[in-house]
Amino acid sequence: MIDVVMPQMGESIVEGTLTKWLKKPGERIERDEPLFEISTDKVDSEIPAPAAGVLAEVLVEEGKTVAIATVVGRIRESDGAAAAAPAARPAAAPAPVAAKPVPPPAPPPAPPPVAAVEAAGPLSPLVRKMAREYSIDLGQVKGTGAGGRITKADVESYMAAQGARTVAAVSAAAPAPAAGAEVPPVPRPAPAKARVEPMSVMRTRIAEHMVFSKRTSAHVTTVHRVDMTRIAKLRDRIKGQFQERYGFSLTFLSFVTRAAAEALHAFPIVNASIEGTSIIYHNEVNIGIAVALEGGSGLIVPVIRNADEKNVVGLQRAIVDLAGRARSKQLKPDEVQGGTFSITNFGTYGSLFATPVINQPQAAILGVGAVEKQPVVVDDAIAIRSVCYLALTFDHRLIDGALGDQFCQNVKASLENWSEQVL
């Protein structure tokens, strides 16, 4: 038998959620063929089979979160001969995990330090974030992971217990009905008029990140109109040759990314982040590109590292590669970490402009609208120009409005006066 384990998908990843088995017990699997899907607090990914054979056992059910190196299933190696696979041993029933309760409405106290808890075992980024958001004293949480490590399930169980105590206290304090008093009937639920289903792991994480970002940063958005006519004509002239030479299309996004990377050098504070009361100026320009997943299932932001060192061709290649692997769940956690600035291209879906949400802990995100031909006044005459709108959302705690506008004007000038060779 070959053990199938929960892989470590990055140095900071200590647990993962098995979201879907792609094979059933008794089905044949080839080596490196996708076997199951996992979701961590960084990325969703397909995990390939470590060997060819038959999936003999499923030990971890879909939806369960386990530590890395946990055996989630077993493969029986075979020589390919047709043979009936034995019935799979049913997985042990998982301990019920209570749903995450809503914290009490009273204003939470400041989050307690976790240094003492670290000594008992490393804390995952997800556990740290939960403790910070819900002001949980991790010293009160019993860890059931390896070496006493506190897992996500431990935190949720602790929160559920605290919520139960609160409900019990309120119930005990409520006055009992007087003897002989008429007890109002419990209303029957109305017929179902909607479908209710739980959020996916990715959607839950997206929701948490969006709310966290809005609560953390002072969001301000500035919008600038950009004349893309020069680039549009260049692209129309070379896009066929570009496709033939490199095997992928040339898009406006690679030009915008190139201009933004140069502007980040001119305005390094836009490439910075806040930690406490300190400003961290990053030495690298690592630009995240927002990718919408198929069927509206989610959004992920893979990172182009050292984007300022790449030309339009290199940026376009990186965008195509990362977007393709994001949609096929082939990204590694390291490829969605370390971003210092982000770009989202909502113009792909026809939007003219929007107000994107900052990807924490970054200080800004640039939204790119659709490039459309519009009548524009040029030298007191009406002309048809290819125009798009750039929307920069920035953290007003760190970036003043004048500086945000100057950054956008720098990007605008690069695009409107484009002179860099592509081919």
* Higher pLDDT among residues 46 and 123, named by residue: 46
DSSP tag of 362: B
Q: Which of residues 238 and 177 earns the better pLDDT score? A: 238
Of 18-22, 175-179, 286-290, 339-343, give the lowest mean pLDDT range: 175-179
Average pLDDT over residues 183-204: 74
Same domain, 72 and 110: no
Q: Per-residue pLDDT tens for 245-263?
A: 999 999 999 999 999 999 9
User: Which residue is associated with the tokens 């959620």?
Assistant: 17
Does residue 341 lie within any of the structural domains? yes
Which of 130-139, 271-280, 326-335 has the lowest average pLDDT? 130-139
In this prediction, residue 201 carries a pLDDT of: 78
% of the chain beyond a pLDDT of 70: 79
One domain for residues 231 and 377 = yes
Per the annotation, the verdict on 396 as an active-site residue is yes
The reported pLDDT for the residue numbered 91 is 46
Average pLDDT, stretch 291-315? 91
| pLDDT reported for residue 331 | 87
User: Radius of gyration over alpha carbons of the chain, in Å?
Assistant: 26
Among residues 60, 58, 62, which one has the least CA distance to residue 70?
60
Q: Specify the CATH number for the domain of residue 314.
A: 3.30.559.10
Does some domain include residue 130?
yes
How far is 222 from 414, CA to CA, in rounded Å? 18
Tell whether the model's pLDDT for residue 119 goes beyond 60: no
- Nearest-5° angle of CA 391, CA 397, CA 399? 50
Structural domain ending residue among the three candidates 25, 45, 76: 76
Place of tokens 């370390």: 338
Q: Note the pLDDT of residue 375.
A: 96
Helix (H) or strand (E) holding 411: helix 401-416
Q: Are residues 238 and 382 in the same domain?
A: yes
Same domain, 129 and 232: no
What is the pLDDT averaged over residues 158-186? 59
- Contacts (Cβ under 8 Å, ≥6 apart) of 269: 279, 281, 363, 398, 399, 403
Report if residue 182 sits inside a domain: no
Q: Encode pLDDT of 100-112 as tens digits.
A: 555 555 554 444 4
The residue annotated as part of the active site, out of 219, 224, 282, 396, is 396
In a domain, 206, yes or no: no
Name the domain count of the chain: 3
Nearest partner of 228 among 369, 397, 65, 392, judged by Cα: 369
What span, in angstroms and rounded, lies between the C-alpha atoms of 306 and 270? Answer: 16
Query: What mean pLDDT comes out for the span 114-128?
Result: 61
SS (H, E, C) 23-91: CCCCCEECCCCEEEEEECCCCEEEEECCCCEEEEEECCCCCEEEECCCEEEEEECCCCCCCCCCCCCCC
Task: Look at residue 366 and tell me if it is in a domain.
Answer: yes
Among candidates 59, 29, 64, which has minimal Cα distance to 47?
Answer: 29
Say which residue, 124 or 387, is predicted with more confidence.
387
> CA 278 to CA 256: how far, in whole Å?
30
pLDDT of residue 172: 56
Region 17-22: what's the mean pLDDT? 91
Residue 224 annotated as catalytic: no
- pLDDT reported for residue 200: 80
Q: Say yes or no: 290 and 405 in one domain.
A: yes
Q: Give which of 265, 342, 268 is closest to 303, Cα–Cα.
A: 342
Q: Are residues 53 and 99 in the same domain?
A: no
Query: pLDDT tens digit string along 203-231?
Result: 888 888 899 999 999 999 999 999 999 99
Rounded CA separation 304/312 (Å):
13
Average of pLDDT values for 16-34? Answer: 91
294 and 160, same structural domain? no
Q: Are residues 228 and 125 in the same domain?
A: no
Q: What's the pLDDT score for residue 195?
A: 87
pLDDT digit string, tens, across residues 307-360: 999 999 999 999 999 999 998 888 887 898 899 999 999 999 999 999 999 999
Q: Which of 32, 236, 265, 400 is catalytic?
A: 400
pLDDT at 71 over 90: yes
Helix count and strand count (H, E) for the chain:
8, 19
- Higher pLDDT among residues 108 and 122, named by residue: 122
Is residue 307 one of the residues assigned to a domain?
Answer: yes
| Strand partners of residue 17 | 39, 65
Whether 232 and 324 share a structural domain = yes
**Domain-located, residue 205:** no
pLDDT of residue 76: 93
Residues 297 and 248 both lie in one domain = yes
pLDDT of residue 90 exceeding 50: no
Q: Report residue 189 CA to chain centroid gap.
A: 37
Percent of all residues in the chain with a pLDDT value above 90, rounded to a whole number:
54
Mean pLDDT taken over the chain = 84
Task: Give per-residue pLDDT as tens, 138-167.
Answer: 888 888 776 677 877 777 777 777 765 554
The whole-number pLDDT of residue 193 equals 81
**CATH code for position 68:** 2.40.50.100
Residue whose pair of structure tokens reads 């069927």 in the numeric block: 295
What pLDDT was estimated at residue 125?
A: 63
Please check whether residue 44 lies inside any domain of the structure: yes
- Residue 304: closest CA among 273, 281, 338: 338
pLDDT in tens, 371-393: 999 999 999 999 999 999 999 99
Are residues 21 and 144 both part of a single domain?
A: no
Which domain range does residue 142 map to? 95-164
**pLDDT higher than threshold 70 for residue 35:** yes
Give the torsion sign (CA, 403, 219, 224, 337): positive
Q: Are residues 125 and 31 in the same domain?
A: no
Name residue, tokens 């397909």. 46
